[in-house]
Structure 1
């Protein structure tokens, strides 16, 4: 996913009366001894709602008791099944409970609000200024979007769509929408040149559709209708079967989008977007390992004569999480063939003492067996400085393939994750083809 999307920051805290939202290290709810099972988290299904930008972003989660302790699973249905993100770092103090969200530097801080209800905030600690979004939740099995009646004939939003997104400054980028509709239920995602918007699910009502997702790091809401919104601009011509929509992300991100049916919709080749500067053939770097504290370089003896895959990632990046979910077990199954993987982590802070623990947490959560190094700050300028042989850099993750001589043979931008259905299978097939080809040389 493009890390440079507009995420504006909140300037004032929400007066919700909840303790411990200033930082991960100062939260009183995280300093409570023992972390006993909080009574506010009733086992079973829940529906949460994030209130932001005048919109409601719904999400589903489940509370379970495992080994005598509460565990929360964020649930995201999609094209290829349901994602279940396990959140097991849960502590309480007083009347508030802090649920750390998977591998991300974010949390839900909640308290009971009557029977089987919660009230609180979603807080993102990894922003320059941690921002907070109001949250409510209700226990019980519920639809993601409540069913609504419409006098209009139900629209058909399934299939492949050629889309264009525009930010509030007029800049645009292409996308491919892929949706599956069963009655009023809709699942799907958008693929872009820098990654996908992961598992999206929602509802169709008449000629309108709504989709949302919440993975702990990002909260997305996509809304659209078939046909131009009111008032209609009479100076424009509108193609039939055109979707007109809005995309809301987090506390302040907003873009508009349009889409038309196109079964042949295709994005630019992800293997051609990033390339080396003229005259360059290798990458030269030495970054500190986040585990041992030693340095990591492609010229180290352990990598000589082997095919090496470089994974440019960040612990804050959901698309990187998808790629790591694939790469970690893949490495264990294939390392004996003469292939190695190096993770180059770019984090929100340039301080090793702050960022290395986040990468170590990611390494432990995904059981990563390959080296992960701290490479710099998560922006394109930092990547350009740390890897000066690259002519440009667009997105996290980016995957770089080195042959047995250390030469760069392929640079692949983005990663189409499991939420994209068939595109995910094509992604894995392309990865394996490239490795197999380099191993045979």
Structure 2
């Protein structure tokens, strides 16, 4: 069967599934492979659970000829099916958002704003932003979708380029260029090249890019492109002028557009650019400022990103969905300027490769010089650092930290910041605080 024939079956199915235990009746199961699993082994289970079809790339599992299709590579097939689906739905405008930090928050804000105008907004759910999640997201886009917002994450070069050929975006925005996934990118130049793959695609296809006019990397690398620019500075080429309230003592994010004050519950002045870009995109798509203000002020994060929880009169800032050197320093810098007693609970920053030890030493240096009262550092990377001080306590893992809490309890404080890489899952510590 060619891709068109299988697509006809997909069009009458209940959707794509890659987990045999989650298949719905009449869904299509695609047997993907990972480091520790082989989806081919679960093809029969998927069919037994109601799948109308199983796509495999190991012929020994293509035993049920009526309900099994063999392909050379199931991941490649998933990409091609998504690409064909996008081709069929080429009329739907898609906005792509990528960057080192803030892409998920920006994506959700953009979707919330667009939902004030459009009845059917499609967007990336959770963190489905990789080479598997993106094609699945595209395939979940229905024919009655009016607009879509897709997030791209990347940990090596050429990944964004490859995803762009699947998504075929009409618009794009890069949040920033920070020290994320250094293990795959090798250095900051590799990170910049990777993110700019989005610009290359948009420029080649004469599509539009949204630009933070206060970011020189974005400005210089988008010359000659169709641009829609926002900035805090009044310039002739700026489409949207936004004024930020850079008040480091203010937990909420506040900005102004055309004398309209917008107060977001998102904490940290590092979120101001994320909010501003979402406002800009909403403005481009002619969402009224009244509706934009509503969407921004109604949006409350619930994914461990820039959340605030009050427990026993302590304000706990939960920003532990992920971490890299750039986002960690920005969070600590913001936290450092809040008035009151402060404690940080930080987990290892992963995927930094050769730079790992030095970047963790840099975090400790910042803490030592700061007015943060106590820092609890969790993970074997932090434990292997040499720098320390009286206000730093290191733990090899979460278990040893919990044991310490149960023995001594957290000292009295006004604020606690929790931040670390996703794999560390520091949110599990909240119940012990």
- One fold, TM greater than 0.5? no
Higher strand share: 1
Larger RCO (CA within 8 A; separation ≥ 6): 1
- Shorter-chain TM-score tier: under 0.3
